[in-house]
Amino acid sequence: MSLALELHDLLKTYLRRHGVAAITVDTADAWRLDAAFTLPGIGRCRARNVRKGDVPAFHAFGAGLSERSKDLFSPYPWNEPEKLKGAFQAAIDASVNRVDAAYFLEMEGEPVGHFFLWKAGGNPHARAHGVEVPELGVAVADAWQGRGFGGLMVRILTAVARSLGADAVELTTALDNEPGWQTYLRAGYEYTGIIRNPQFVDVTAVAAGAATAAVWRDERQMILLLNETKRDAVLHYLAVKREEALKM
């Protein structure tokens, strides 16, 4: 199934609870993704790639996150304004250059969700172990939580990873993030262990030695296997990551 068709089916399933199916999908691949739908009485919702000029969109999204949400979703140095613009620009560059598959979920043009697959264009660290495993991140602005957007974005990223031929998708989540934990379990993710994870940076960049982190936290490591024939190799790779993190 093409990515466009899979996205259409995902949105159709999501919209069943609303009794509508006003869906538009204009998606060639993971790097040119544009999918929209209308929620009656709420507005037009759109998922689209992070693109050039999106620094204001990142700032607007961050403004919709509470301190608790920023703590749970920590790929950017939220509390270091002097570093924040550079981190956002790096995320934009990685998206434009097809390193990361990164997206915004917008409601009437305002960013209410941000989701990505780090190293979707190829993960050298994973490839060294014979597997292709991008890493997932998802967040929803506080005012828009409880509408199923988190689960929808996770499923969109799963479809993206599948379209790119990934063997699995990895994520980590804080030990006290019960809503996220339940969302990932419902999406089919399985728990693999506790990993010491860097905060407020691109985790894959730290693993590659291209960045450093001052703050670390124990988190749950989880995996969604897409290629069952690579299960043993994927689990070995994740175990190696857990061991390596302890040495950093």
Domains, the chain: 3-247 (3.40.630.30)
Give the mean pLDDT of the chain. Answer: 93
In degrees and rounded to multiples of 5, residue 71 shows phi and psi of: -65, -40
* pLDDT of amino acid 204: 75
Question: Greatest CA separation found in the chain?
Answer: 52
* pLDDT of amino acid 41: 83
pLDDT at residue 78 above 80? yes
* pLDDT of amino acid 19: 66
For residue range 42-52, what is the model confidence (pLDDT) as tens digits?
Answer: 899 999 999 99
Query: How many angstroms separate the CA atoms of 241 and 226, rounded?
Result: 19
For residue range 30-41, what is the model confidence (pLDDT) as tens digits?
Answer: 999 999 999 888
* pLDDT of amino acid 23: 93
% of the chain exceeding 70 in pLDDT: 96
22: pLDDT confidence band, cut at 50, 70 and 90? confident
* pLDDT of amino acid 87: 96
Pairing of strands 168-174, 34-39: unpaired
CA-wise closest residue to 35 among 208, 162, 156: 156
According to DSSP, the residues that pair with 115 across neighbouring strands are 103, 138
- The CA-based angle 203-209-210, given to 5 degrees, is 80
Query: How many angstroms separate the CA atoms of 148 and 170, rounded?
Result: 21
Residue that is written with structure tokens 């602005």 in the block: 141
201: pLDDT confidence band, cut at 50, 70 and 90? confident
Per-residue pLDDT, averaged over 96-124, amounts to 97
Per-residue pLDDT, averaged over 139-150, amounts to 95
For residue range 202-229, what is the model confidence (pLDDT) as tens digits?
Answer: 777 767 677 777 778 899 999 999 999 9
Record the pTM: 0.93
Query: How many angstroms separate the CA atoms of 142 and 66, rounded?
Result: 7
20: pLDDT confidence band, cut at 50, 70 and 90? low
* pLDDT of amino acid 217: 87
Query: How many angstroms separate the CA atoms of 98 and 104, rounded?
Result: 16
16: pLDDT confidence band, cut at 50, 70 and 90? confident
CA-wise closest residue to 90 among 100, 78, 82: 100
pLDDT at residue 166 above 90? yes
Per-residue pLDDT, averaged over 159-185, amounts to 95
Query: How many angstroms separate the CA atoms of 182 and 54, rounded?
Result: 31
243 with 194: CB under 8 angstroms? no
